[in-house]
């Protein structure tokens, strides 16, 4: 496990270790998308990991899907993120803001503008979503015009510019978990007949254009992307061509020289091995539900350069110290995952706080 604690070069940065806080939506922003008052404290507490990837953050009004998620496109958003970036840097940490456009995973009751979600095609995901009025079915989204797809690419680049203005070290494009970018990949969500639908080349075009536009805007060495090949949730079916789509996509992205590729692994080991070979840059791997005894195995085997953990970091602000000390971990409390106050947000104790009681 010791290799995990070695510093590593990622993009233009030297990170203090190879452990990454996976992006986690916490739904505690203000209604206008400005990060909440406790967010700087929350992230600073966890700045002992080499890299923090922030909660999914909308690049535009239409990018929002869930209640009280943060944005990064207004002056108020930038001022809020500045406090977070400063607090993380003061502790020697690094933070990339995850740019998340929810696409069709959106409900009009969750956004200040109350508009219908937008998507590659007018196909509902066939699932429900928590809203201000409780659980509701997600309605059929509005299909983006070709011109609007171009505008959405520009929105991502604008948000990336604002993220670095706020002092973030870079951005991670959310290309995973059934949100807008992955909706373009999946024939079940994308029946377009323009250059963004049909062939594999067309379905990955949006992702590549977003990555290219952001890299041009802020530098490839501050641009990263997260993918989850084979996601099956929320009406996403990438079909038999799915693995081939990812081989093509990763080979194309590799040419851009991005800071890192972040894979949220869905279980296809041969595909993961292929992607590892196709990607010459740094690879961050997140294996959902990875038991603590396995922490470090992927870095040790060479399958990954860094490992990302979500709920264990959420519940353990001093995750790295606990690993080093082989100490017991706090358990995450699901009831505090989304929304609420400091409870199960900034009040998880460190080891020394536990020992002091």
Strand partners, 13: 10
Phi, psi for 14 (deg, rounded to 5)? -105, 115
The residue number with the shortest CB distance to ligand FMN is 310
Strand partners, 309: 21
User: In whole angstroms, what is the distance from residue 178 CA to residue 216 CA?
Assistant: 26
Contact status: 336 vs ligand FMN (CB under 6 A): no
Contact status: 311 vs ligand FMN (CB under 6 A): yes
Pick 265 or 276: Cβ nearer ligand FMN: 265
Pick 29 or 220: Cβ nearer ligand FMN: 29
Give the nearest distance from C-beta 178 to ligand FMN in angstroms: 10
| Segment lying near ligand FMN (by CB under 6 A), choices 19-27, 124-132, 235-243, 343-351 | 19-27
Contact status: 174 vs ligand FMN (CB under 6 A): yes
Q: Which of 129, 310, 316, 320 binds ligand FMN (CB under 6 A)?
A: 310
User: In whole angstroms, what is the distance from residue 128 CA to residue 137 CA?
Assistant: 4
Residue pair 64/71 in contact (Cβ under 8 Å)? The answer is: yes
- How many CA atoms lie within 13 Å of 158's alpha carbon, on the beta-carbon side? 17
| Cβ neighbour number for residue 220 with a 10 Å cutoff | 20
Contact status: 226 vs ligand FMN (CB under 6 A): yes
Q: Which of 16, 25, 121, 316 binds ligand FMN (CB under 6 A)?
A: 25
User: In whole angstroms, what is the distance from residue 64 CA to residue 85 CA?
Assistant: 22
**Selected catalytic residue, list 179, 196, 246, 348:** 179
User: Which residues, at least 6 apart from 214, have a Cβ–Cβ distance to it below 8 Å?
Assistant: 99, 156, 157, 160, 171, 173, 223
**Residue 196 designated active-site:** no
- Token pair 């740094």 is at which residue? 282
Pick 152 or 182: Cβ nearer ligand FMN: 182
Binding positions for ligand FMN, 279-298, rule CB under 6 A: 286, 288-290
User: In whole angstroms, what is the distance from residue 120 CA to residue 288 CA?
Assistant: 27
Pick 15 or 192: Cβ nearer ligand FMN: 15
User: Which residues, at least 6 apart from 317, have a Cβ–Cβ distance to it below 8 Å?
Assistant: 45, 46, 48, 348, 350
Contact status: 176 vs ligand FMN (CB under 6 A): yes
Pick 29 or 192: Cβ nearer ligand FMN: 29
Catalytic residues: 179
The footprint of ligand FMN (CB under 6 A) covers: 22-25, 55-56, 98, 100, 174, 176-177, 226, 264, 286, 288-290, 309-312, 337
């Amino acid at each position: 496990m010791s290799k995990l604690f070695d510093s590593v070069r990622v993009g233009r940065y030297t990170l203090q270790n190879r452990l990454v806080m996976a992006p986690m939506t916490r739904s505690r922003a203000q209604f206008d998308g400005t990060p909440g008052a406790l967010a700087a404290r929350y992230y600073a507490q966890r700045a002992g990991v080499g890299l923090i990837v922030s909660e999914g953050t909308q690049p535009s009004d239409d990018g929002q899907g869930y209640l009280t998620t943060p944005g990064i496109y207004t002056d108020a958003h930038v001022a809020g993120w500045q406090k977070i970036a400063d607090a993380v840097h003061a502790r020697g940490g690094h933070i990339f803001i995850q740019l998340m456009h929810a696409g069709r995973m959106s409900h009009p009751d969750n956004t200040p503008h109350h508009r219908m979600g937008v998507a590659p095609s007018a196909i509902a995901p066939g699932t429900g979503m928590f809203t201000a009025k409780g659980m509701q079915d997600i309605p059929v989204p509005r299909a983006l015009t070709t011109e609007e797809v171009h505008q959405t690419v520009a929105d991502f680049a604008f948000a990336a510019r604002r993220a670095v203005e706020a002092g973030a070290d870079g951005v991670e494009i959310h290309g995973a978990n059934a949100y807008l970018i992955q909706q373009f990949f999946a024939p079940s969500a994308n029946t377009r007949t323009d250059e963004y639908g049909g062939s594999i080349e067309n379905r990955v075009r949006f992702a590549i254009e977003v990555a290219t536009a952001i890299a041009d805007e802020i530098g490839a060495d501050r641009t990263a992307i997260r993918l989850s090949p084979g996601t099956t949730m929320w009406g996403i079916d990438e079909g038999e061509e799915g693995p081939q789509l990812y081989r093509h996509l990763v080979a194309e992205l590799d040419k851009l020289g991005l800071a890192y590729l972040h894979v949220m692994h869905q279980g296809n080991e041969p595909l993961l091995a292929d992607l590892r070979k196709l990607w010459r840059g740094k690879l961050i791997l997140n294996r959902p539900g990875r038991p603590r005894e396995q922490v470090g195995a992927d870095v040790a085997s060479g399958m990954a350069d860094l490992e990302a953990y979500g709920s264990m970091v959420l519940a353990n602000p001093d995750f790295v110290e606990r690993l080093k000390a082989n100490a017991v971990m706090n358990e995450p409390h699901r009831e505090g995952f989304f929304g609420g106050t400091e409870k199960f947000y900034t009040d998880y104790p460190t080891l020394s706080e536990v020992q002091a009681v």
